[in-house]
Amino acid sequence: MMTGFEVAVVGGGLMGSSAARHLAEAGVSTVVIAAPEPDNWVAGAGPFASHYDSGRITRIISADPVWAELAVRSIGRYDDIAQRSGIEFHDPRGLAWLGLGIEAAVQNSKGRGGSALMVTPEWLYDNTGIKTPATADMQCAFEAAPAGVINPRNLAKAQLVLAEMAGATVITAAADAVQPTTRADDSSGVGISGAFGSVAASRVLLATGAYAADLAGIDLQVRRQLRTTVRIDLGPAPEMPSLIIEPVEHPHINDLYWNPPVRYPDGRVLFKVGCEIEHAPEADNADEIAAWFAGSGDPVEADALIETTRSLLPDARFDQLEIVPCVITRTTHKHPYIGWVDDRIAVALGGNGSSAKSCDELGRLASTLFSDDGWDDPILDAATFEPQLL
């Protein structure tokens, strides 16, 4: 058994790796138990994650000032993380935002130093090739760099490199159980076990994404939405920004987002589209998540994505398509859950489809739960992130 850690972070995804870095850099003795990505999604039992991809949109612009604040703080630290870890993950290609009544979202960017501006459909088409749908009252905005795209796998890797450089121990394996313990001196602790053996720490942070606090037998109010994305080979990759459009006029999907073409681990350069839908199927447990990742997503959602993308990019060539399953973890208040769920168990999870870009600040906030001063943020209130138990 490895002992003597102040904090064990379970989960080395975007929030866990970020929290581990902030904890270790604050001098807290930290161990991270980070399950590796299954080599084979079809045969693997998991755990699976929301960041198993090569592109995630990054932007400050948001209708929700909390998300805008989280993003501006996180994006401001990207260069430092990349430089010190030696791992690049940020490509600032800009973001096009199409929607109804989007002035407040633009203001949430501008008010924090972001570069979002309202633009005309003609400007958008001339500069990006994106054709604005003729939906009544549809408006367009463009946010230039640092908005664009990040590589979420590389960002998690970079955070873990920095956590290790600051003294954290990283165990690349899944945890099977988390249990409160009482130590020889009567102090309370937590034991975490798995195929790697076991680890003892004073307190634990569960950053386990869609698996919520199940490991500790604690039921959180989360919805694990089983979702579908489409990756497309557009041929010689055109220069284009990330895009979010809401609403789209389609019977099956409410909105659509895309990442510009980015390089995947197999060397291909692919463009990725996804969306929100009204009634997404949900998983109740780890077996249902694994079964979804072993499959090939929802063909109806995929067809809707392809049809809508064709109308937005009339000049693009669609060489090859692949349909990829994924999972999004939603919380009741639409912000991540960051807080205590037990006297020695805290959580940082519930990305709501929006946390990749902002994970560094989410991880920093989670790390403050373990500091002597606790949560002490002048703008972001702890209640905004309070975990909700079933």
Ligand X SMILES: Cc1cc2nc3c(=O)[nH]c(=O)nc-3n(C[C@H](O)[C@H](O)[C@H](O)COP(=O)(O)OP(=O)(O)OC[C@H]3O[C@@H](n4cnc5c(N)ncnc54)[C@H](O)[C@@H]3O)c2cc1C
Residues engaged in binding ligand X (CB under 6 A): 10-16, 33-35, 47, 49-51, 56-57, 152, 174-175, 207-209, 211, 215, 229, 274, 326-328, 349, 351, 353-357
Least CB distance to ligand X at residue 56 (A): 4
H or E, element range at 291: helix 286-294
H or E, element range at 200: strand 197-206
Task: Between 229 and 368, name the residue whose CB sits nearer to ligand X.
Answer: 229
Least CB distance to ligand X at residue 167 (A): 20
Least CB distance to ligand X at residue 185 (A): 28
| 133 CB-contact burial (10 Å; exposed 0-12 / middle 13-18 / buried 19+) | middle
Task: Between 202 and 355, name the residue whose CB sits nearer to ligand X.
Answer: 355
CA neighbor of 343 nearest in space, from 369, 378, 320, 307:
369
Task: Between 102 and 356, name the residue whose CB sits nearer to ligand X.
Answer: 356
Least CB distance to ligand X at residue 95 (A): 10
Cα–Cα distance between 366 and 9 in angstroms, integer? Answer: 10
Q: What are the CA-CA distances from residue 149 to residues 11, 93, 276, 335 (Å)?
A: 23, 7, 19, 21
Cα–Cα distance between 246 and 274 in angstroms, integer? Answer: 12
In this structure, what token pair is assigned to residue 178? Answer: 């988390």
Least CB distance to ligand X at residue 126 (A): 25
Least CB distance to ligand X at residue 226 (A): 10
Task: Between 106 and 356, name the residue whose CB sits nearer to ligand X.
Answer: 356
Least CB distance to ligand X at residue 134 (A): 26
Least CB distance to ligand X at residue 186 (A): 28
Biggest CA–CA distance in the chain, Å, is: 71
What residue is closest to ligand X based on CB? 13
Task: Between 123 and 286, name the residue whose CB sits nearer to ligand X.
Answer: 286
Question: DSSP class of residue 243?
Answer: E
CA atoms in the 13 A half-sphere facing the CB of 9: 38
CA 174 and chain centroid, separation: 19
Task: Between 28 and 156, name the residue whose CB sits nearer to ligand X.
Answer: 156
Cα–Cα distance between 344 and 370 in angstroms, integer? Answer: 10
Task: Between 121 and 386, name the residue whose CB sits nearer to ligand X.
Answer: 386
Cα–Cα distance between 55 and 232 in angstroms, integer? Answer: 13
Task: Between 36 and 314, name the residue whose CB sits nearer to ligand X.
Answer: 36
CB 92 within 8 A of CB 311: no
CB 61 within 8 A of CB 117: no
